[in-house]
Structure 1
Amino acid sequence: MKLSLEEFRAWNNKSITLLGMSGVGKTHLASLLRKDNWFHYSGDYRIGTRYLDEEILDLIKQQAMQVPLIQELLLKDWIYIRNNIKVDDLGPVMSFVGKLGNPELGGIPLGEFQRRQALYRQAEVLAMMDVPVFIHKAHHIYGYRHFVNDVGGSLCDIEAPEIIDLLAKHSLILYIQASDHAEEERLIKRAQSNPKPLYFRPGFLQEQLTEYLREQQLEYAAEMDPTEFTRWIFPRLFRSRIPCYEAIAAPQGYTVTSNEVSAVKDEADFIKLLEKAIARNENE
């Protein structure tokens, strides 16, 4: 959605989609706005509680059934297992998506990893398709004036242009880019120490996997240390996403920096930042 400053200021029920890498401030910003009559729609939360919920629970139950006591309790319906994902804690989704590599080191075999990746992509597509419905719910059921869509960092990788078009039709897309190279390195290190669920485009994953196996002189993915492979591939994934984000923001949205976002303390600051981004785009 492209708007003039006048159109933006006259927009009574604003809907904003926050786009960018994990760590640039999307969830922090959305949580901040929630205090000021903004409905916070978290794509990752929707994925975990709606579209991957059954898969996550099946995985947990599969492990639990290997313990005789728990197996008996589950089969007799004396206990139940529930997914307790939080907006700022994606542990259950992370456990399901997992890491590719040696199963003896906690990794997931290649075929199963690819299956889960496909399910994760489908879940993200479905979660984004729900955005127009939740914009309506936010205003007409929950009574919020504005709506902010906090999307996962992998949105640019799902290769579904129709989803980007849908979001651009119903919201203003705001891309938060790392301010500089030093900030990019900080985000990479943060993600490596505090990993989030990762989605890889199939072609990208195969290309990088082939290179890693060659570098490490390994024959199969099942020989890889899953944590080491994830740490190795993430900087490459990070940098591959930058042009993808820019390709979305240039024609259909606006761009601000993570430094600009870090200065936002309340709704008034956020509105000023949006106006600045629109004005900057008009002057280009």
Structure 2
Amino acid sequence: MKLPAKEFSKSKHKHLTLLGMSGVGKTHLSKLLGLDDKWYHYSGDYRIGAEYLNNAILANIKQQIKQDGCLADLLDNDSITVQNHITFDNLSSVSSFLGKVGNPELGGLPIGEFNRRQALHREAEARAMLDVGEFITKSQAQGYRHFINDAGGSLCELDDNKVYQSLADNTLIVYICAHEDNESALIECARTHPKPLYYQQNFLQQQLEIYLQENQFSYVAQIDPDAFVRWIFPRLLRHRKPKYEAIASQYGCTIDSIDLHQCQNSSEVMELITGAIR
């Protein structure tokens, strides 16, 4: 059930979940609100890496270390240790674990291992989102009046009504819709800095088949990982957009990225969000 605009406006405790692609403005919005220290910032990606994928991340790093005989001995006799120093501003350990599919000689992962990590990430993201209600309670106990859940761009890929309903019960879901110019910038960023991404398995399989055929490849191991990310990203945008829209339509509201980037302070952000609630 959606939160009426009048009720949201009068509420002394504002709880938000930000929905949208990475780079669309979620962090910008969080920082504008964060100028007011009454906001508690919950990062879904941080929770994923620090809690639910931490052991898998460390196991992967240790496996790579053990490929060096000297380092393997040091690790086995506890002369060296490995830690995951993830922060809100540095989520590279999660990104590195997720990886890219393709030629191992170019840094890619075999399709089986890639799918295994994708499945672990999906489960971790769902659990992190189901933790939001608990963290709202904790934040209030710590004296915070408001709460913002900066969710990952792949939240729409979960297709899990239990997760979406839980978020809607505890927060107002705000979808930041990428303006056409913003979409172009996102695509250009993916072209120049291709990053690991989460894909729904059926979508990935379909796109891999198309890519292999277009490039006359026989195996996934022939794929250049970065080239594949550059190629698939615009398709991923088109795949995710109706999913974002459906979630916002059922559970929340939508604001435009251009309107958001014109906001200068928290008051203007809240006015934009309140005006978007129908």
Q: TM-score range by the shorter chain?
A: over 0.9
Partner of 2:109: 108
Partner of 1:157: 157
Give the counterpart letter for 1:6 in structure 2. Answer: K
Give the counterpart letter for 2:175 in structure 1. Answer: Y
Matching of residue 77 in structure 1 with residue 72 in structure 2? no
State the TM-score, normalized to the length of structure 1: 0.93
Give the counterpart letter for 1:44 in structure 2. Answer: D
User: CA deviation digits over 1:8-35, x for unaligned, max 9?
Assistant: 1221111000001111110222133223
Deviation of 1:88 (Å) = 2.7
Partner of 1:215: 214
User: CA deviation digits over 1:122-155, x for unaligned, max 9?
Assistant: 0100100100001111111x22110000000011
Between the two proteins, what is the percent identity of the paired residues?
Answer: 52
Task: Classify 1:196/1:39 alpha carbon distance in 2 versus 1 (closer, same or farther; 3 Å).
Answer: farther
Give the counterpart letter for 1:189 in structure 2. Answer: E
| Separation of aligned partners in 2, 1:60 and 1:127 | 23
Deviation of 1:205 (Å) = 0.6
Partner of 2:22: 22
Deviation of 1:253 (Å) = 0.7
Give the counterpart letter for 2:242 in structure 1. Answer: P
State the TM-score, normalized to the length of structure 2: 0.95
Deviation of 1:74 (Å) = 1.6
User: CA deviation digits over 1:253-274, x for unaligned, max 9?
Assistant: 1110111111222221221112
Deviation of 1:195 (Å) = 4.1
Misfit runs of 4+, over 4 Å = none
| Separation of aligned partners in 2, 1:86 and 1:28 | 17
Partner of 1:42: 43
Give the counterpart letter for 1:250 in structure 2. Answer: S
Partner of 2:226: 227
Q: How does 1:1-284 map to 2 (within 5 A)?
A: 2-36=2-36, 37-140=38-141, 142-179=142-179, 181-278=180-277, 281=278
- Secondary structure (helix, strand or coil) at the match of 2:153 reads coil
Give the counterpart letter for 1:65 in structure 2. Answer: K
Q: Which runs of 5+ in 1 are unaligned?
A: none
User: CA deviation digits over 1:81-108, x for unaligned, max 9?
Assistant: 1111222332111111100001111100
Contact in 2 for aligned 1:57/1:83 (Cα 8 Å): yes
Report the count of equivalent residues: 277
| Separation of aligned partners in 2, 1:45 and 1:195 | 20
Give the counterpart letter for 1:239 in structure 2. Answer: R
| Separation of aligned partners in 2, 1:245 and 1:5 | 20
Task: Classify 1:101/1:48 alpha carbon distance in 2 versus 1 (closer, same or farther; 3 Å).
Answer: same
